[in-house]
Amino acid sequence: MKLPRDLRGEDLVRHLIRHWAYAKVHQVGSHMILQTDEPSPQRIAVPAHNPLRVGTLNSILAAVANHKSVSKEAILKGL
């Protein structure tokens, strides 16, 4: 799977909120804090960078995929 190289942090946050049951809790500096309670509580920080670095994006996707028990490809679908 090839990760997108031009994805903005705001776009990823919007996608996670709309399709993966996350909610934006607050923002600390350039980092947006998202939270979900499905299937269990989890918080993640997403930097509001343009674009997100590939390693940062991969780490966020891995955390969400592991928590939701899906693949990283499934999360990226629809972006």
Cα 10 to chain center, whole Å?
A: 9
Residue 12 has a pLDDT of: 97
Domain boundaries, the chain: 9-69
Task: Decide: 12 and 46 in contact? Cβ < 8 Å.
Answer: yes
Residue 78 has a pLDDT of: 81
The single-letter code of the amino acid at 44 is: I
Say how far apart CA 24 and CA 30 lie, in whole Å: 13
Q: Tell me the per-residue pLDDT of 16-56, one tens digit each, with 9 for 90 and over.
A: 999 999 999 999 999 999 999 999 999 999 999 999 999 99
Q: Tell me the per-residue pLDDT of 47-67, one tens digit each, with 9 for 90 and over.
A: 999 999 999 999 999 999 999
79 pLDDT exceeds 90?
Answer: no
Say how far apart CA 73 and CA 48 lie, in whole Å: 22
Give the pair of three-digit tokens for residue 36: 């979900």
